[in-house]
Amino acid sequence: MEDGRIFGVYRGLPKSIYVLFVVRIVNALGAFVGPFLTMFLSDKIGLSSEVIGVFIMLNSFASLPGAMIGGKIADSLGRKRVLTIFQSLAALCFVPCAFLGYSIAIPFLLVFATFFNSIAQPAYGAMIADLTNTENRNSAYSLLYLGNNLGFSVGPMIAGFLYSHYLKMIFIGNSIAVFTSIFIIYKFIKETKPDKEAEVLIANENEKVEEGSLFSALFKRPLLMSFALLSVIYSFVYAQYPFCIPLQMKEIFKSNSSVIYGYIMATNGVTVILLTTVLTKITRKLSAIQNVALAGVFYGIGFGMMYFIHTFPLFIVATVLWTIGEIFQSTNSGVYIANHTPMSHRGRFNAVIPLITGSGFAFGPLLMGIYIKNRRVIDAWPVTSILSISAAILFYILYIRERRKVRED
């Protein structure tokens, strides 16, 4: 019998998923450095905005080779080993930062931390796929997404206090959080890399072992490639949240803009925490790609209405709507990718596909900045709305094509 309680959607998951839920909370709760990195580089080290931009770019570039290396070794050495080794190295990079004062060496150490952490990330994704199946992935990814946001809802507030009163603890605390999560994984989760028995027993045809390289396996999955490319549109749209919304708040609310933007960020976080479980339960009978298509509808309405509105309550309504889109996308994209990834290539697919889908977020502010340079900020919103609705339609067409392919097979 189906559990009627809201949190019943999370019942019966593998125990290791609940462990990873705790790990997600710990990591997000202790992510102290990231939210205040730009402020630290500017206020404490005294770098110009141009130089800060260079270091942020270096951080982004460091993730690219790291992810590709991490994906390969996660598939060969195993998930747990890669996680424990490279997250430990990332945590160690934070420690000397606490004792170097305002040295220029600090941003370089943080780039190395990003590099090591990016090596570990594909192993996380592969581990989640290893521990779940097509029946329980939607609930598992929803729970882990919720854990991430529970941590981030509190972490930046702690980080703000530490930044103002105990600056060294920004780095030491971040390191402690990472080491704590590593210990939890080492102690309570066994290696999940599939063995020969698991390879034989896998039921989903799309997850069966694939021979050949990453790209040969990827190009044999045109539906997954199409999904990844369409997801670039969503990440481009979502990138306007931290870029265009603050600019719009500054135009409308002037000196009070930072406070209003803070309320919008808080609304986003509270909506995620309150509605993730509810939406997962309501839509659990829909396929992952149907839910991803729904994300575009809510993005289109939520971001689109920001072209017309000027009052604080309506901005809160808009934020709730586009955050619902975020929930649908974030809790279901990983499910679709896992369901279409061969178990032999999980590490590598979890390296390259986020690089593809995240490219929209990387270039979104730059491209939109060029577009609105000689226009109004609000002119960004019709573009994002049209892109969102168009992507939603294309995702639904992809869903129809996939159903047709299943029937033909």
Is 382 in the same domain as 333?
Answer: yes
Q: How far apart are CA 371 and CA 375, in angstroms?
A: 7
Residue 203 is assigned to a structural domain of this protein: no
> Half-sphere exposure of 390 toward its Cβ, with a 13 Å CA cutoff?
10
Is 250 in the same domain as 176?
Answer: no
Residue 200 is assigned to a structural domain of this protein: no
The two tokens of residue 210 are 């694939």
Say how many domains are in the chain.
2
Residue 188 is assigned to a structural domain of this protein: yes
Q: How far apart are CA 291 and CA 280, in angstroms?
A: 10
- Cβ–Cβ < 8 Å for 108, 41: no
The number of beta carbons lying within 10 Å of the beta carbon of residue 178 is: 25
- Read off the amino acid at residue 66: G
Is 246 in the same domain as 184?
Answer: no
- Cβ–Cβ < 8 Å for 327, 269: no
Q: How far apart are CA 342 and CA 240, in angstroms?
A: 33
- Cβ–Cβ < 8 Å for 25, 151: yes
- Cβ–Cβ < 8 Å for 315, 302: no
pLDDT score recorded for residue 1? 40
Is 114 in the same domain as 247?
Answer: no
Residue given tokens 């509810």 in the structure block: 278
- Read off the amino acid at residue 95: V
Which residue spans within 222-350 are E strands per DSSP? none
- Read off the amino acid at residue 195: D
Residue 293 is assigned to a structural domain of this protein: yes
> Half-sphere exposure of 199 toward its Cβ, with a 13 Å CA cutoff?
12
Residue 309 is assigned to a structural domain of this protein: yes
Residue 205 is assigned to a structural domain of this protein: no
pTM above 0.85, yes or no: yes
Is 233 in the same domain as 311?
Answer: yes
Residue 400 is assigned to a structural domain of this protein: yes
The two tokens of residue 91 are 């945590």
Residue 199 is assigned to a structural domain of this protein: no
Is 175 in the same domain as 276?
Answer: no
Q: How far apart are CA 89 and CA 74, in angstroms?
A: 16
Segment 42-71, tens digit of pLDDT:
888 888 877 887 887 788 788 899 999 999
Is 309 in the same domain as 173?
Answer: no
- Read off the amino acid at residue 243: F
Residues contacting residue 63 through CB under 8 Å, at least 6 positions apart: 114, 115, 118
Residues contacting residue 71 through CB under 8 Å, at least 6 positions apart: 122, 214, 347, 348, 349, 350, 351, 352
Q: How far apart are CA 397 and CA 403, in angstroms?
A: 10
Q: How far apart are CA 335 and CA 207, in angstroms?
A: 12
The two tokens of residue 147 are 């854990």
Is 70 in the same domain as 118?
Answer: yes
Q: How far apart are CA 153 and CA 26, in angstroms?
A: 12
Is 46 in the same domain as 88?
Answer: yes
Is 256 in the same domain as 356?
Answer: yes
Closest CA to 136 of 234, 224, 18: 18
Q: Which of 146, 161, 192 is the last residue of a domain?
A: 192
Q: Which CATH number is 76's domain given?
A: 1.20.1250.20
Closest CA to 75 of 189, 172, 161, 191: 191
Low-confidence ranges of the chain (pLDDT < 70): 1-4, 409
pLDDT score recorded for residue 300? 98
Is 394 in the same domain as 286?
Answer: yes
Helix or strand holding residue 363 (H, E): helix 359-372
Segment 150-187, tens digit of pLDDT:
998 888 888 888 888 888 999 999 999 999 999 999 99
Is 291 in the same domain as 397?
Answer: yes
221 lies in which domain range?
214-408
